[in-house]
Chains A and B, each alone.
Chain A
């Protein structure tokens, strides 16, 4: 294995070893997606009971819950994994090893992907077994939704890690709250037009508004709105570039301020 790949694998191994040795941590990965699916699944079932024609809306609700979890888990997967290094006061060893920052980021993204897939599996199975809802029926476009929502979670996470470089462990609360705070603007369960007019441009600047509009098109019209998807891809690229620039800038400033040594304090 080439040295860069081996260094990335070393960091992935480091985090997988934590999960292997701790069942509560492994359970935590799937806990919230499963809980959300149970709550919204029963809610959707109740709506269908009182309004028998609401099947499509209930399907959109369940699809929204599952797909938005991709962004939330993707973001938490990166920031939680980085916070693990802060909590274990290990950054001093990592940043004096030959591990490049881009390799550290690559390992964070891969661990995040693994966490997201494992975390969503029980919720997906529950949706099928309890509510007879099969997200895979969205077809191949589901893969494009997944990639874009994952990318959105990742650029949010990179920006949060940059804030951790700047403000230290004191900014830890941001890791848990920022993506959840975006949810009202993500237009997961309603179209952008449901928002006040002055808020709509903000929502449209997020890839999620376009992805979930595409999801509703796929569910209700059984088609793919390529324009929505193109917007989502373009916005994700733009936000990702911005997040990488912020990350690089804050990492450089952390090396000037000495924050890499004291970040956990």
Chain B
């Protein structure tokens, strides 16, 4: 069974068509990249997948649950991380992880926090307020929070933004290992094309709310006659024709 099934999804605001009739699936154990420029509809799509936003029409099925009727059953088995949504800055890192451990009903919580502290190297600032951390440290804490409940589906918005290349590479390795160990599905929105090429099995290219192309990264690169995904991204963003 697929982790995500999106069928003819539309989100219309008063004067704006933010997402325009998109359909896609993400198989269990797969990593899907959601690419597109600003305003392409990525965040709107992710928000609907998370149940934060109600679609105008279309259906979303996550881990077998219809998000319109049964979203909490899906939310218990998935998680999300974005550097653009903060964790409470006055709480220490340990307190933050404890709060989300309770919200996700994580068994043996302190042991799980210990595992995540080791995995993301959080020990040095575990008892510091989250608001006092550097951007990179906050991103690592947010990723630790996102793995708290061992999700079967992980939605990541720019997971390595603000991280130095070494830490970014480490995080990508953690995500690869996590997928390998748990067969979790991952949906990744990123502007780091190298990251997408490395991690994603399939890529959806979005523009103006529509999926304008899709395929494996190497397929897209070959189809556009380019050397890497960044050039493909620019071709699509600038309306260049596919190479003959």
Contacts and interface: CB of A to CB of B under 8 A. Distances in A.
Partners in one complex: yes
Interface of A: 3, 6-7, 9-11, 13-14, 17-18, 21-22, 84, 88-90, 92-100, 252, 255-258, 260-261
Given A255-B52, A261-B47, A7 B105 contact: yes
B108 to A, nearest CB: 13
Say whether chain A's binding surface is mostly helix, strand, loop, or mixed.
helix
Most buried by A among B50, B52, B54: B52
B91 A17 contact: yes
Given A13-B102, A93-B85, A97-B75, 16 more contacts: A10-B101, A13-B98, A14-B88, A14-B99, A17-B91, A17-B92, A88-B89, A89-B86, A90-B86, A97-B104, A100-B72, A255-B51, A255-B52, A255-B54, A258-B44, A261-B52
Interface in B90-144: 90-92, 95, 98-105, 129
A92 B75 CA distance: 13
B102 A7 contact: yes
In the A-B complex, the 10 residue pairs with the smallest Cβ-Cβ separation, listed nearest first, are: A10-B102, A92-B85, A89-B86, A3-B105, A97-B103, A96-B50, A98-B76, A88-B88, A14-B99, A10-B103
Interface residues of B, number: 34
A32 to B, nearest CB: 21
Contacts of A97: 75, 100, 103-104
Given A14-B88, A14-B91, A88-B89, A98 B105 contact: yes
Nearest to A14: B99
A98 B104 contact: yes
B210 interface: no
Contacts of A255: 51-54
Nearest to A19: B90
B9 to A, nearest CB: 14
Interface of B: 13, 43-44, 47, 50-54, 72, 75-76, 79-80, 82, 85-92, 95, 98-105, 129, 145
A21 B53 CA distance: 34
Contact of B102 (A9, A22, A90): A9
Contacts of A18: 88, 90-91
Contacts of B86: 88-90
B215 to A, nearest CB: 29
Contacts of A84: 88
Most buried by B among A3, A9, A97, A100: A97
Nearest to B131: A88
